[in-house]
Structure 1
Amino acid sequence: MREVDLNVFATELAAGAFVIDVREPDEYVAGHVPGARPAPLSALGAALAELPADRTVYVICASGNRSLWAADQLAARGVDAVSVAGGTKGWARAGRPLVCGTATA
Structure 2
Amino acid sequence: MKNVSVHEVPAGVQLVDVREADEFSVDHAAGATHIPLSEFTARVSEIDIDRDIYVICKSGGRSLQASEYLELAKGLAPINVLGGTDAWREAGLPME
Whole-Å separation in 1 of the counterparts to 2:95 and 2:16? 14
Pair 1:95-2:88 in alignment: no
How high is the TM-score relative to the length of structure 2?
Answer: 0.92
- Kindly provide the amino acid, as one letter, of the partner of residue 7 in structure 1: H
Equivalent position of 2:77 in the other structure: 80
Runs of 4+ in 1 over 6 A off after TM superposition: none
Change (3 A) 1:30 1:55: same
Q: Where in structure 1 are there 5+ consecutive unaligned residues?
A: 100-105
SS of structure 2 residue aligned to 1:34: coil
| CA contact 1:59–1:84 (8 Å) conserved in 2 | yes
Equivalent-residue separation in structure 2 for 1:92 and 1:81 (angstroms)? 22
d(CA) in 1 for partners of 2:28, 2:34: 9
- Pairwise CA RMSD: 1.1
Partner of 2:25 in structure 1? 29
1:68 is aligned, of 64, 70, 74, to 64
Question: What is the deviation of 1:95?
Answer: 1.5
Unmatched segments (≥5 aa) in structure 2: none
Q: Residue type of the partner of 1:52?
A: D
Count of residues paired in the alignment = 95
Give deviations 1:3-37, integer Å, cap 9, x for gaps: 1111111xx1x1x2101100000000000001101
